[in-house]
């Protein structure tokens, strides 16, 4: 029993990481209908920026977090302006390949900027883990879960309650109609990108203390985030959140109860089964039909 609780805690910690990443991806999809395969690299940028700003330059924590976020947003902005918008491709798969190119480019830049070695970042708060029913819960896990809920909630509020957010959703639903009704759709796309990559950077900021950061950490995280977003249902923020937690818990339970070598396979088999039963993901708002 004690073990099961520990597996759940471990799963929620990892799952929350996936969730934060998935929320950023899902947010971009709900406003531009694009999946950014370079999203994991923005997570890397966030984590590595924390290494530079907080650990090496010893800036105060809030300032370091803000700077890392700003870096993520700026890079996303530049990426949208110079790569995505210039492309004007009709086929979304072309845009996807551009993001793949961007991910390789960012990884290469990260390697030059920070070197090939991994780095470690201290925890935001005290090191001691909290004991609940004989299982240990890391303080940083609580930070991550709170961060994920905060992010999903904040973006949900932004898209549903603010004028800019609603305008952004309108662009995704029908860009021409949105443009006709006076929404500057290009500016909306830039904004969506900056927010989404900023979310990626935030994910990196929260993850850095839990694990080790290196220039090549992003790929697998981006992939898991993509899976989480798909399971939850594209475009649904809370779905992405739930998908992330579900993926983390499945992996952890799979490792604990069946086999740690096969944990990813177990998680993926279950995820595929979910997809077969609910082809649009758990919380699909609408069926995604592009490509």
Partner 1 sequence: MIMKRISMAIAVLVMALLAADGLYAASVYKIGGIFSSTGRASFLGDPEQKTMEMMIEKINAAGGIDGVKLEAVIYDSEGDPAKAVSAVNKLLHKDKVLAIIGPSTTPTTLAIVNFVERAQVPLISCAAGVKITSPVKPWVFKTAQSDLLAVAAVYQHMKARGIKKIGVLTVSNSFGESGKHQLLNQAKDFGLEVVQADSFGAKDTDMTAQLTKIKAAGPDAIVCWGTNPGPAVVAKNVKQLKIDLPLYQSHGVASPKFIELAGDAANGIILPTGKILVTGLLDGSDPQRAILEDYQKDYNAMYNANVSGFGGYAYDAVNLLAGALKGSGGDKNKIRDALESTQGHMGTTGEFNFSAQDHNGLSPKAFVMVEIQNGTWKLIK
Partner 2 sequence: MSDKLSARSRARIENSIFLAAVILLGLVTENTYYLQIMTFIGINTLLALGLNMLMGYAGQVSLGHAAFYGIGAYATAILSGTYALSPWLALICAVGGAVLVAFIVGLPTLRLSGYYLGMGTLGFGMIVNILFREWSSVTGGASGFVGIPVLEAGPMVFMSGKSYFFLVWAVVLAAILICRRILRSRMGRALRAIHDGENAALAVGVNTHYLKLKVFMFAAALGAVAGFLYAHFVLFISPESFGFMVSVKMVTMVVIGGMASIWGALLGAGLLTLLPEVLHGFAEYEMIVFGLVLMLVMIFMPQGLTRGFLDIYHASRKKRQ
Name the segment binding partner 1 (CB under 8 A); options: 156-164, 175-183, 184-192, 248-256. 248-256
Task: Tell me: does residue 117 bind partner 1 (CB under 8 A).
Answer: yes
**In this complex, which beta carbon is closest to partner 2, that of residue 73 or of residue 229?**
229
Task: Tell me: does residue 55 bind partner 2 (CB under 8 A).
Answer: no
Length of the chain: 291
Cβ-in-10-Å burial (0-12, 13-18, 19+) of 228 comes to buried
Phi–psi pair at 27, nearest 5 degrees: -60, -45
Name the segment binding partner 1 (CB under 8 A); options: 5-13, 56-64, 151-159, 273-281. 5-13
| CA angle, 167 then 97 then 217, to 5° | 90
Phi–psi pair at 63, nearest 5 degrees: -65, -45
Both structure tokens of 190? 């830039």
Q: Among 132, 173, 212, 272, indicate the residue that binds partner 1 (CB under 8 A).
A: 212
Closest approach of partner 2 to the CB of residue 12, in Å:
22
Cβ-in-10-Å burial (0-12, 13-18, 19+) of 171 comes to buried
- Collapsing DSSP states into helix, strand and coil, what is residue 137? strand
* Interface of this chain with partner 2, residues 121 to 180, rule: CB under 8 A: none
Distance, C-alpha 46 to centroid of its chain: 11
**In this complex, which beta carbon is closest to partner 2, that of residue 169 or of residue 274?**
274
Task: Tell me: does residue 117 bind partner 2 (CB under 8 A).
Answer: no
Q: Among 102, 207, 240, 246, indicate the residue that binds partner 1 (CB under 8 A).
A: 207
**In this complex, which beta carbon is closest to partner 1, that of residue 254 or of residue 280?**
254
* Residue whose token pair is 């070598």: 261
**In this complex, which beta carbon is closest to partner 1, that of residue 134 or of residue 150?**
134
Q: Among 120, 125, 162, 181, indicate the residue that binds partner 1 (CB under 8 A).
A: 120
Residue 86, binding choice from partner 1, partner 2, none, Cβ under 5 to 8 Å by partner class: partner 2
């Amino acid at each position: 029993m004690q073990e099961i609780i520990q597996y759940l805690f471990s799963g929620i910690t990892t799952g929350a990481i996936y969730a934060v990443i998935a929320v950023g991806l899902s947010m971009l999809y709900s406003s531009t209908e694009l999946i950014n395969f370079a999203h994991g690299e923005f997570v890397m940028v966030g984590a590595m920026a924390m290494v530079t700003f907080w650990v090496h330059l010893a800036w105060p924590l809030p300032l370091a977090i803000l700077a890392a976020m700003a870096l993520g947003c700026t890079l996303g902005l530049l990426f949208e302006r110079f790569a995505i918008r210039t492309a004007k491709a009709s086929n979304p798969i072309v845009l996807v390949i551009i993001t793949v190119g961007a991910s390789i480019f960012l990884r290469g830049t990260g390697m030059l900027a920070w070197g090939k070695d991994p780095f470690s970042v201290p925890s935001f708060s005290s090191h001691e883990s909290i004991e609940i029913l004989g299982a240990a819960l890391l303080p940083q896990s609580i930070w991550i879960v709170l961060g994920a809920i905060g992010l999903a909630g904040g973006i949900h509020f932004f898209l549903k309650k603010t004028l800019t957010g609603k305008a952004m959703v309108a662009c995704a639903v029908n860009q021409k109609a949105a443009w006709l009704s006076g929404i500057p759709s290009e500016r909306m796309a830039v904004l969506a990108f900056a927010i989404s990559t900023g979310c990626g950077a935030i994910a990196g900021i929260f993850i850095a203390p839990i694990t080790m950061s290196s220039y090549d950490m992003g790929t697998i995280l981006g992939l898991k985030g993509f899976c989480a977003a798909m399971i939850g249902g594209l475009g649904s923020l809370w779905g992405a959140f739930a998908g992330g937690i579900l993926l983390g818990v499945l992996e952890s339970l799979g490792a604990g109860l069946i086999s740690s070598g096969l944990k990813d396979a177990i998680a993926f088999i279950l995820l595929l089964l979910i997809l077969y039963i609910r082809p649009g993901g758990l919380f699909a708002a609408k069926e995604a039909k592009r490509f």
